[in-house]
Amino acid sequence: MPFRALSGHRHLLELLARAVVRDTLPPSLIFSGPEGVGKQSAALALAQALNCERAVAWPDDGGRDGCGECAACRRLARGVHADLLVVSPGDSGSIKLDRIREAIDRSAYRPFEGRRRVVIVDDADALGVEAQNALLKTLEEPPPASVFVLVTARPDVLLPTVRSRCQRLRFGPLSPAEIADALIAGHAYAPAEAHAAAAAADGSMSHAIEGDAGAVAAAREAAARLLQGAGPRADPRRRLEGARLLAGAGDRDEVAQRLRALASLLRDLGAVQSHADDRALANADLKGELQSAARFFDANRVIAAFGAVDRAIAALERNASPKIVADWVALNI
């Protein structure tokens, strides 16, 4: 999909779109950042912007973006365009020297049907030392009609000589709101499941999609009810109900998931108390519930509760009884 349809990274995408229209795009780029935040999608969008048959102006102050609908854009999105070469790790988990040599040879030819040939090296940290050394001269003196994009979550694994020959763009984690919007719009998630999955995704769209949305939403709902019930310390019945909510069916993974959801809510509770911007909240859609809980949780109690949850997760990892862990957390937050 084109730049304007991607989630997040607006500043970087606009920078690329302007560089395309001004013909100032560096010939060798590194797209670095956490897994699943859209680096490869941005590389494909760059290929569309360079080779679209009827490019559109974006952003408004001057840039070039792919239309996303022409034959070239559709083939680029599917990875079957004649002027696109995507190199990725094989079954061995590494990118072999012969694959890189093939990419270098193909990049030397003029584009077959588009304006620029784009070589995307996905998971570039999987390149062996020999393969990286083979790339050096091409990165230093790239063919005039080719662009190399190295996509990696671990840029420090690349040789310093490779990094020094590329312009690096750093892609940060996506915000929970960006992930939730994308899940609702593009993956038919219900709003509650989308927000729960986004809160648990740690800024990664792929993590959000790979998880069980229903289980994540149920875990967050249980954690939110526990937090509300734990507010008035003096009511032991609410504490016991909170323990039952946290324990669920007593499955270790289920309890761990609910503890992680509770930790996320406690972080947000601290942010609400400090009057942080809503964009800092992983569970912004539950701000009303968090404000209600804030009546009973001062800063010291939030810190203590977060520490208790952290110790409980560690205890689970050491094979402590899920029920005992759930009871202990309910009594200590």
DSSP letters, 66-133, are --S-SHHHHHHHHT--TTEEEE---TTSSB-HHHHHHHHHHHTSPPSSSS-EEEEETTGGGB-HHHHH
- CATH 1.20.272, the chain: domain bounds: 176-332
Q: What is the pLDDT of residues 201-220, one digit of tens each?
A: 999 999 999 989 899 999 99
Nearest to 310 by CA among 295, 298, 286, 328: 328
- Check whether 309 has a pLDDT greater than 70: yes
Quick one: CATH architecture of 176-332? Up-down Bundle (1.20)
The tokens of 104 are what?
């270098």
- For 113-151, the pLDDT digits (tens) are 999 999 999 999 999 999 999 999 899 888 989 999 999
Q: Which residue has the tokens 């954690």?
A: 223
What stretch(es) of the chain map to CATH 3.40.50.300? Answer: 3-170
Q: From the CB of residue 265, how many other CB atoms can be counted at a distance below 10 Å?
A: 26
Model confidence, pTM: 0.86
pLDDT recorded at residue 280: 86
Fold observed for domain 3-170: Rossmann fold (3.40.50)
